[in-house]
C-alpha cells in the first residue's frame, strides 16, 4: 500500500492564481493562442483579424477580442492584430523565455523521446542535463544533452540553478528523486512517472501527466459513438 | 499557410455524449477512479471506504458516494466498496477491454517510447503494428511490435479491424496518414503530431495531445509563484 498511501493529495493541475488582471480561464487558453500565433509567425504572417483567428482557434471572434484585450492586444478595425506583438505578450505572460533551466531525470525511452523534441527550446527552457542510474549511458550525450549519474543530481541542481525537474523515472523512484531536487531548490516538477505526485511543499509546482487517461477517454468515446451508430441502424 | 488553414475546427477534447444516466462530469473523473482502484487491486486490497478513497482521490467522500452510486457502486455501511466490482464496472463503462486494436504510425523516438509502455495492455488495447517510412526499421520488431512500411498502412487497417491510430508522425504528414486510416475504417485517432487535427468526419474521434501546453502552464505557475514570493519578501 506504500505507493497508494502517498497518493493522497491534489490530482491534476493546481488552480492558477490570478496575479494580474488576466483571469485564470484566459490564462488556460493562452498556450493554445501561443501555439497558433507561433505557427502563423513561422508561416510569415504579420497580422490577423479576430474572424480569421476565430476560425483557426474555434473560439468566437467576440471571445477572442475579449481575451486579447485583457492584456492590451487591441486589434485595429480593418487591420487586425499584430501577430508578433501578441505572441511576445503571451510569451511574457506565460513565463516563456524566462530562461528556466530543466533537467530530465531518467534516460529511458520516454526521457530520450522528450530530450529529442524541440518542446523545450520552443518555450525558452534549457535542457541542461539528464540523469540516470545505468552506467552504460552515464557519461554519454543523448541528443546533445549530457547524461550524468543520479548521484550527482542534487549537487548539479544546486550549482546550476535548475528550476524544472522532468520526472521519467519508475514510479517507485519518484518520491526519492523529488526529495533530492526539491531540497536542491527545484521549483517545478513535470511528472511523467505514471502516478500522482503529491507534495506538502506549497512552493513546488507539480504538473502530472497521465497519457493513459487520455487513451481511456478515447476508448470511451469510440465505444459511445459505436453504440450510437448501432442504435441508429 | 497550408498547415494553419487546416487547423480550423474543434480544439482539445470533444464533449462526451451522455449515453447512460452517468453524467459527462462523472465520466471525466472515471479514468482517475480506474487508475486508483487498479493500484489498490494490484496492492491486494479488496474493499475500501468512501473516506479512504476520498483521501486518495482528493475528492470529498460525499462526491465519491454520488459518483459511484451513478452506476450501481453502492458501498455498505462499515464495510465499504468492493474494489474489484467498481474497477470492472468502470472498465466496462469506459470501453476498456473492448479489445480495441491500435497501430502506432511513426517509429521515431516518441513512437518507440509509446510502444515500450504498458499503457495499451493495461487498458485492453492491442498494439498490432507500427508503421514507418525508414527502410532500416521496416521489417524489424520494436518491443515485440512488428514494424511495417507505411505503404501497407491502409491495407493492414482494413484487414485487421484497427480501431485506433496513434499518430507520432511529423505534423506535415498528419493529414495524409489520417486520410489513409480513416478511409480504412479507423474510428479513433490519438494525435501526438504537435498540431490540432481537425476532421470533417463526425464519426472519427480525435484526442489531441499537447505536451508543450503543459510545459507552458508549468512555466507560468513557477513564474507566478516566484512573483508572489518576491512580493512577500
Cell digits for B143? 518491443
Residue-range domain boundaries for chain B = 24-94, 101-213
Instruction: For chain B, say whether A14 makes contact (Cβ under 8 Å).
Output: yes
Model pLDDT, residue A21:
56
Kindly state the average pLDDT of the residues A16-35: 70
Instruction: For chain A, say whether B170 makes contact (Cβ under 8 Å).
Output: no
Mutate: best of A201, A218, A224, A231, partner B, most B CBs <10 A: A218
B:189-218 residues touching chain A, CB 8 A cutoff? 190, 195, 203, 205, 207, 209-218
Instruction: For chain A, say whether B95 makes contact (Cβ under 8 Å).
Output: yes
Say whether A215 and B123 touch across the interface (CB within 8 A): yes
Domain with residues A24-94, CATH architecture: Orthogonal Bundle (1.10)
Model pLDDT, residue B21:
56
ipTM of the complex as predicted: 0.80
Model pLDDT, residue A152:
98
Instruction: For chain B, say whether A92 makes contact (Cβ under 8 Å).
Output: no
Mean pLDDT of chain A: 85
* Domain A101-213 in the same topology as domain A24-94: no
- Identify the burial level of B46 via C-beta atoms within 10 angstroms of its C-beta, where 0-12 means exposed, 13-18 middle and 19 or more buried: exposed
Pick the CATH number of A101-213 from 3.40.50.720, 3.90.110.10, 3.40.50.1100, 3.80.10.10: 3.40.50.720
**Complete DSSP assignment for B53-80:** HHHHHTS-HHHHHHHHHTTT---BTTTB
Closest Cα of chain A to B77: distance in Å?
A: 22
- Chain B hits for A213, CB-CB cut-off 8 Å, are 31-32, 35
**Complete DSSP assignment for chain A:** -HHHHT--S--SPPPPP--SSS-HHHHHHHHHHHHHHHHHHHTT--EE-HHHHHHHHTS-HHHHHHHHHTTT---BTTTBEEHHHHHHHHHHHHTTTS--EEEEE--SHHHHHHHHSSHHHHTT-EEEEEEES-TTTTT-EETTEEEEEGGGHHHHHHHTT--EEEE-S-HHHHHHHHHHHHHTT--EEEE-SSS----S-TTSEEEE--HHHHHHHHHHHHHHHHHHHHHH-
- Owner of C-alpha cell 480506474: B34
- Chain B hits for A188, CB-CB cut-off 8 Å, are 218-219, 221-222
How far is residue B92 from each of residues A54, A178, B71, B98, measured CA to CA in Å?
Answer: 38, 35, 11, 8
Kindly state the average pLDDT of the residues A5-18: 34
Closest-CA residue to B114 (of A176, A208, A214): A214
- Chain B hits for A31, CB-CB cut-off 8 Å, are 210, 212-213, 216-217
Q: Who among A11, A58, A190 is closest to B215 (CB)? A: A190
Instruction: For chain B, say whether A15 makes contact (Cβ under 8 Å).
Output: no
Kindly state the average pLDDT of the residues A129-147: 96
pTM for this model (two decimals): 0.79
Model pLDDT, residue A3:
35
Say whether A116 and B109 touch across the interface (CB within 8 A): yes
Q: Who among B120, B219, B226 is closest to A94 (CB)? A: B219
Model pLDDT, residue B117:
86
Kindly state the average pLDDT of the residues A205-213: 89
Say whether B7 and A36 touch across the interface (CB within 8 A): yes
Residues of chain B with pLDDT under 50: 1-20
User: According to the per-residue pLDDT averaged within each range, which of A9-13, A117-121, A182-186, B210-214 is highest?
Assistant: A182-186
Closest Cα of chain B to A174: distance in Å?
A: 16
Mutate: best of A215, A222, A224, A228, partner B, most B CBs <10 A: A215
Model pLDDT, residue A72:
72
- Chain B hits for A167, CB-CB cut-off 8 Å, are none
- Chain A hits for B100, CB-CB cut-off 8 Å, are 219, 222
pLDDT in tens, A79-118: 788 999 999 988 888 888 788 999 999 999 899 999 988 8
Model pLDDT, residue B2:
32
Closest Cα of chain B to A191: distance in Å?
A: 10
Q: Who among A8, A94, A195 is closest to B216 (CB)? A: A94
Instruction: For chain A, say whether B8 makes contact (Cβ under 8 Å).
Output: yes
Instruction: For chain B, say whether A141 makes contact (Cβ under 8 Å).
Output: no
Q: Coil, helix or strand for B157? A: helix
Instruction: For chain B, say whether A226 makes contact (Cβ under 8 Å).
Output: yes
Model pLDDT, residue A154:
97
| CA gap B35, A171 in Å, rounded | 14
Q: Who among B108, B190, B215 is closest to A215 (CB)? A: B190
Amino acid at each position: 500500500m506504500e505507493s497508494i498511501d502517498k497518493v493522497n493529495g491534489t490530482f491534476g493541475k493546481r488552480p492558477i492564481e490570478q496575479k494580474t488582471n488576466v483571469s485564470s480561464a484566459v490564462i488556460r487558453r493562452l498556450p493554445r493562442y501561443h501555439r497558433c500565433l507561433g505557427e502563423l509567425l513561422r508561416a510569415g504572417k504579420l497580422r490577423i483579424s479576430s474572424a480569421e483567428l476565430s476560425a483557426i482557434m474555434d473560439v468566437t471572434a467576440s471571445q477572442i477580442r475579449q481575451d486579447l484585450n485583457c492584456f492590451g492586444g487591441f486589434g485595429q478595425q480593418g487591420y487586425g492584430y499584430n501577430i508578433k506583438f501578441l505572441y511576445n505578450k503571451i510569451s511574457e505572460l506565460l513565463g516563456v523565455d524566462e530562461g528556466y533551466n530543466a533537467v530530465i531525470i531518467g534516460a529511458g525511452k520516454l526521457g530520450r523521446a522528450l530530450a529529442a523534441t524541440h518542446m523545450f527550446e520552443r518555450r525558452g527552457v534549457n535542457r541542461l542535463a539528464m540523469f540516470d542510474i545505468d552506467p552504460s549511458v552515464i557519461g554519454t550525450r543523448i541528443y546533445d544533452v549530457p547524461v550524468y549519474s543520479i548521484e550527482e543530481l542534487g549537487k548539479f541542481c544546486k550549482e546550476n540553478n535548475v528550476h524544472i525537474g522532468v520526472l521519467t523515472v519508475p514510479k517507485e523512484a519518484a518520491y526519492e528523486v523529488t526529495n533530492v531536487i526539491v531540497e536542491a531548490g527545484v521549483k517545478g516538477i513535470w511528472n511523467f512517472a505514471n502516478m500522482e505526485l503529491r507534495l506538502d511543499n506549497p512552493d513546488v509546482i507539480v504538473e502530472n501527466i497521465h497519457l493513459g487517461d487520455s487513451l481511456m477517454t478515447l476508448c470511451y468515446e469510440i465505444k459511445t459513438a459505436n453504440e450510437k451508430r448501432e442504435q441508429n441502424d
